[in-house]
Every structure is written in C-alpha cells, then in structure tokens.
A and B are shown apart, each in its own frame.
Chain A
Amino acid sequence: MNETDQAKKDELYRVIRKVFNLVDTYELSDEMGPGDVSGWDSLGGINLLNAVQDQLRVDLSIEELASINSIGDLRSTLQAKGIYTYPAK
C-alpha cells in the first residue's frame, strides 16, 4: 500500500472513530464490522452510513447499504462509485 492509500484509509477510520466516539488510539482494521467495533450496532450502523453519505456527499442505494458487512466493504462500495476519502487532517 502506498502512502496516499494509507492516508485515505486513515480518513475513513477518522469518520468511524468520530461517529462511535472512539479514542484516536482505538485500533481499527478493514476486516472489522458490526459487532466488532464498539458502538456499531443496528442504530450505530445507520448513524455511520448516514455520516459517510453526508460527509462524502454520496448517496448509497439500499442494496449497496445491505452489502456492507465490514469497513473494507464500505471502502469498496465508495470506491466503486468513484468516491475517495481524503487524507486525515
């Protein structure tokens, strides 16, 4: 993974940490999903996907939302729509 990719990854993690009120040192990985990340339950999932759609100005269809089982799935779904996250500030 090159430096830019890593930075993009950090940006998605930043959104996730913010939505779930997680400390900066809370360890995340693309394999994690509902039930693995503290606060990512049914309602937490809705809040996360709403936040991602708001912040990245993208609309995800119900089928796309249904296919997201992990952070990696979310990243792939966004990238398939040509949406890239920005480096963390």
Chain B
Amino acid sequence: MNQIKTIYNDILRAADAHPEKNAIISDQLSLSYSELLRQIGHLSHALARAGIQRGDRVAIGTVHKANTLMSIIAAMAVESIPVPLAESSMEDISKVLKDARPGILIVDEAARHGIVTHQQEASLLCIEEVQKDKGSFCLEPERDISDVAIIFYTSGTTSGEKKGVLVTYGNLAATVNYMNDFMGLQSDIVEYVVPPINHAFGFGRCRAVFRAGGTLVFDDGVFSPAKALVALEKHRCNAVSSVSTGFAILLEHYEKYFISATKNIKWVEIGSLYLEASLKKKLAGILVGAKVVMNYGLTEAMRTTLVDYKSELSKVETVGRPAPGVEVRIVNDAGQELPPAMTGEIVIKGPNVAKGYWQKEAQWQERYSRGWLKTGDVGYLDRDGYVVFVGRKDDIINVGGKKFSPLDIEASLKGILKNVPYCVCGVADPDGLLGEIPVLCVEGNENVSIMDVQRSLREYVEEYQIPKRMCRFPTLPRTHNGKIKRNEIKEQILRMGLL
C-alpha cells in the first residue's frame, strides 16, 4: 500500500492553522476553513447514512460551484467515487448516469429547477436539506495511490461517446505537487476561478489553492467578463484561472478594465485550450509581476506540460515542457519515436496518466500501451524539448495530401470575421478530387460572404488552405468549455448534405 494525503487533509491542515480564514467566497455562500470542514462533515454523514460505501459512485449535479466542490470532497471522504455531471442535455446526463450507475445523485436547490432532477436513474440528495443535519462523519483521509479518486466524463469532442476517465489519488497528488511548485503558490493566494469545478481543470485549481491554504472566489453560471472584473477588485484577488476563451474575451472586449483589475495579480493559469501567441504575449505584457502559466493536458493526462510565458516569452508558440516526472514523445503512425521538429502524435507517460476508462477496458487499451497514452493530438518538440501543439489528429485537414490544422486558418480569420462565431472543418470533397476541402462554418445569419472571406484570407494563408465552401448554423455545437465540436459539425454537414 502506498498511502498519500488528499485534498481533505489540506483542508484539515488549513482549518487547524487558520480556522477563520476564508476558504470559499461566492455570491451564494462564503465559508471559512472551519465552516467548510463542518459542511463537508455533514454531507459525508448524510452519504454514509444513505448507505453509500467504498467504491460506490456518487453523481454530482449541483449548480453552485461551492456545492460542487463540497460534494466532491464529501464523496471522497466516505471512500466513494464522485462523478461530477458536466452535461447540459437530459440525454447526455442520462447516458452518464446509466454508465456510472451512481448510488445517489447530489443536487442543490438551484439544480432542482433544472433538467438534472428529471432523470430517472438515481435517488436525489439535496445539499441544502443535508446542511440542516447535525451529524458529521469522515473516514481516515489517507488513500492508496492507485485508488480511483474521481470519474470525469469526457466531453466526447472526437468520438461522441462519453467515457468516464478514472483519475486516481496518485494522479491528483502528483499534479497538485508539481503545479504548486512550478507556480510557487503561497498561502496568501486569493484566486478567482472561472472554469467549472465539474471539470478537471477547475477542480485542479481548487486543489492547488487548498494545498497552499488560500482562498477561492467563485461566480456561478455563464462566465460574465464584467462580473469577473468586479470580483477581482472587490475581493482583492491575486490569482485568476480560466480556459483561454475567458482571457481572450477579457482582452478583446475589456482590456482597459482588465489592466486595472489585474494590477495585483501574481499567479495566472490558462487552461489547456488553444490561445493565439499574440494574446499570450499581451497577457504576459499586462500582468507585470505575475507568473502566467499555461498547461497542455487532457482529462486522461492532466497538466502534462507547463510553461510560464512571463519568464519563457520566447516559447510563446509552445505549450511548454513536460512536468516533472512526465515524459512526452512524438510518434509516427507506426508508433516509432520521431526526432525534434518532426510532427506526429503526442504520447504521454507519467504519474498524471489516468488508470483507465470506467468499464470500457477495450477502449482504454486502444489508447494505452506499456505506460504510454496516445493523446490523439498532433504536435512536435522544438530543439529545447518544448511541445508545440498543432491540433487534434481528427481535425487535421488533408487537401490533396497537404495537411494543416484548422487553428491556423481560424487565427487568420479573426480579423476578418468580427463578432461572428465560426470554425473551419475538413470535409470530404463533394467533387471527390482533393480528399478533403476546408469548409467555413459560421453561426447565425450575419452578412458573411464566402467570396469576401476568401479574398481577405489570400493575404495570410496558402491557396489550398482557403475554405472552398461556407455552411451556416443557427448555433455551432460546443462543449461546456466552449470547445467547438468539429466532428459533430462535420457529421451534420455530411448527413444534411449541406455542401
């Protein structure tokens, strides 16, 4: 047995040292460390009384971030496995619940009006009713390194099938250790956490802040840049985390306020999504005195690479170097390792690689071999060992043998299609000549002319990279994180004969 401490230990330690210090500040509720500990105790007691045992799954469908976080920790405290629900449709929630077969589903009052309570798969436990309970319960908070700590369901951007990623206590411990070392977090951290807690990135930020003994600041619901900027000043935040989309919105629409609201910022983490190099430089330029850290990772291998754009500005085109103890290789289709500068699939080995997929061993074996995880992402290593992310393997567009990432074209479209959501996909050439053609997909009925777009793009990209056709969508399908689901769009284009 290889025992390690958990997030619960971090809260215990902080509650012991600073019981009255704010652990969580949000509109919905604010909790000191001692209050947080008490609430988690009540909730874990209610779970135990409901018969939840070691290894049982506990689904979490709460709306408020603070409730989600407490539910996750309480489920861990009784040795069950939390399954945060990040799905937005009844159909997807049902799929996850049918797959995970939880013993109970935790909701909050805010969720009672939502779709999650309409499901038929699990009995409900409402967190507000639990808090009236006076009981308290918690098992010994040390866990074995290989025990499953949490199941995050992947958003299915590529295959469409939902898979529960088994994240172990070892994965959580390793990543929080090297993240906090890399960022140099201290106990005075007050972090405004933009991402949802029911995803690996947001939950990772909570673990990092609790490990440091700091304070989390949350807003619930759809990300509001104005709310974020007000909260940063109001709560004197010195740290902020968001997926790249959040920073892009803040910089593009509220730059003046962003500069003013972030003058005390010491730590920034940008989630693992593509962010243009120019925006990274801008962030590093505005956030004087801050570490501006970006990671590359996936739920199956969280925080694989790390980079601080403040001190490594010359590496702004990269997503950083492998974290301590993590190895990254680039391989060809035959699985052979490629030298630096050669593009291939990114594969990962290390303490951050998950244990498997919940009850989908065959799918896991397709991706995992002798310690190495195939990511489905394409990239290369530069001469200093930094990883350059090129795109998703499935997204790479192949026009008559010439391959390129849609991200390159989308970056060039930014100055052309203002305020119109769009993406570029490779779709089978209807004329059967080129294999695939790039297709521009735009949202809404804005007055966009493909001919004007093509004319403008010629300044920036090669002729073969210019979208040949355009498709309009009322709404482009996205994940909760705002990632556009290219595969779903491609499928719709083909199924509905839009070309």
Q: Does B225 contact A (CB under 8 A)?
A: yes
Complex contact A66–B226 (CB within 8 A): yes
Of the listed residues A42, A45, A68, the one surrounded by the most CB atoms of chain B closer than 10 A to its CB is A42
A38 to B249, CA, bound (A): 19
Q: How far is the CA of A35 from the CA of B220 in the complex (A)?
A: 11
Contact call B257/A62, Cβ cutoff below 8 A: yes
Tell whether, in the assembled complex, residue A38 and residue B475 are in contact, meaning their CB atoms are under 8 Å apart. Answer: yes
B226, B245, B419, B475: the one within 8 Å of A62 (CB):
B226
Q: Are A42 and B224 in contact (CB under 8 A)?
A: yes
A40 to B419, CA, bound (A): 14
Determine if A47 is an interface residue (Cβ-Cβ < 8 Å). yes
CA distance A33 to B227 in the complex (A): 14
**Which B residues, 212 to 259, have Cβ-Cβ distances below 8 Å to chain A?**
221-227, 229-231, 245-246, 249, 253-254, 257
Determine how close the nearest CB of chain A comes to the CB of B246; give it in whole angstroms: 7
Contacting residue for A45 out of B224, B231, B419, B421, CB 8 A: B224
Q: Check: A43 CB closer than 8 A to any chain B CB.
A: yes
A60 to chain B, nearest CB (A): 9
In the bound complex, do residue B445 and residue A34 qualify as a contact, i.e. CB atoms below 8 Å apart?
A: no
B474–A43 touching, CB < 8 Å: no
The digit string for A23-43, where 1 denotes a CB below 8 A from any CB of B, is 000000000011100111111
**Smallest Cβ distance from B289 to chain A, in angstroms?**
23
CA distance A66 to B421 in the complex (A): 23
The verdict on A65 contacting B226 (CB below 8 Å), with A21-B444, A21-B445, A42-B246 known, is yes
Cβ-based interface call for A63 (8 A): yes
- Candidates B222, B229, B231, B474; contact of A34 at CB < 8 Å: B222
Residue of A with least CB distance to B421: A43
Return chain A residues, CB-CB under 8 Å to B224.
Answer: 34, 42, 45, 65-66
B229 and A43 within 8 A (CB): no
| A-B Cβ contacts below 8 A, count | 49
* Contact yes or no, A35 B230, CB < 8 A: no
A42-B226 contact in complex given A35-B221, A47-B419, C-beta closer than 8 Å: no
- How far is it, in angstroms, between the C-alpha of A24 and the C-alpha of B249 when the chains are bound? 29
Q: How large is the interface on B (under 10, 10 to 19, 20 to 34, 35 or more residues)?
A: 20 to 34
Tell me whether A34 and B249 are in contact (CB under 8 A): no
Contacting B230 at CB < 8 Å: which of A33, A46, A62?
A62
Give the CA-CA distance A65 to B230 in the complex, in Å: 10
Chain B residues 392 to 422 lying within 8 A of chain A, measured CB to CB, are 419, 421
Report Cα–Cα, A41/B229, bound state, in Å: 17
For B421, the chain A residues whose CB sits under 8 A away are: 43
List the B side residues contacting A38 at CB < 8 Å: 475
A41 to B225, alpha carbons, bound, how many Å?
11
CB proximity of A36 to chain B, nearest CB, Å? 9
User: Once the chains are docked, how many angstroms separate the CA of A34 from the CA of B223?
Assistant: 9
Question: A41, A43, A69: which has the most chain B beta carbons within 10 Å?
Answer: A43
In the bound complex, CA of A77 to CA of B475 (Å)? 29
Smallest CB gap from B229: residue in A:
A62
Task: Select which of A42, A63, A66 is within 8 A of B249 by beta carbon.
Answer: A42
Instruction: Report whether B246 and A66 are in contact in the complex, using a CB–CB cutoff of 8 Å.
Output: no
- Measured between beta carbons, the chain B residues less than 8 angstroms from A43 are 249, 419, 421
Q: How far is the CB of A47 from chain B (nearest CB, A)?
A: 6
Please state if B221 and A34 are interface contacts (CB–CB under 8 Å).
Answer: yes
Assembled-state Cα–Cα distance A35/B222 (Å): 6
Q: Give the CA-CA distance A46 to B418 in the complex, in Å.
A: 13
Q: Decide if A42 touches B229 in the complex (CB within 8 Å).
A: no
* CB-contact partner of B245 in A33, A42, A63, under 8 A: A42
Q: Which of B222, B226, B254 contacts A41 (CB 8 A)?
A: B222
Could you tell me the distance between the alpha carbons of A40 and B475 in the complex, rounded to whole angstroms? 11
User: How distant is the Cα of A49 from the Cα of B224 in the complex, in angstroms?
Assistant: 11
Residues of B within 8 A of A47 (CB): 419
**In the A-B complex, the 5 residue pairs with the closest CB atoms:** A65-B226, A34-B222, A66-B226, A66-B230, A66-B227
**A-B pairs with beta carbons under 8 Å apart, 22 shown:** A21-B444, A21-B445, A21-B474, A35-B221, A35-B222, A38-B475, A39-B444, A40-B222, A41-B222, A41-B482, A42-B223, A42-B224, A46-B253, A47-B419, A62-B226, A62-B230, A62-B257, A63-B230, A66-B224, A66-B226, A66-B227, A66-B231
User: With contacts A45-B224, A46-B253, A69-B221 known, what are 17 further pairs, Cβ within 8 A?
Assistant: A21-B444, A33-B221, A35-B222, A39-B475, A42-B222, A42-B223, A42-B246, A42-B249, A42-B482, A43-B419, A45-B222, A46-B249, A62-B230, A62-B254, A65-B226, A66-B224, A66-B231
Interface residues, chain B, with chain A CB atoms under 8 Å away: 221-227, 229-231, 245-246, 249, 253-254, 257, 419, 421, 444-445, 474-475, 482
Q: Which residues of A contact B (CB under 8 A)?
A: 21, 33-35, 38-43, 45-47, 49, 62-63, 65-66, 68-69
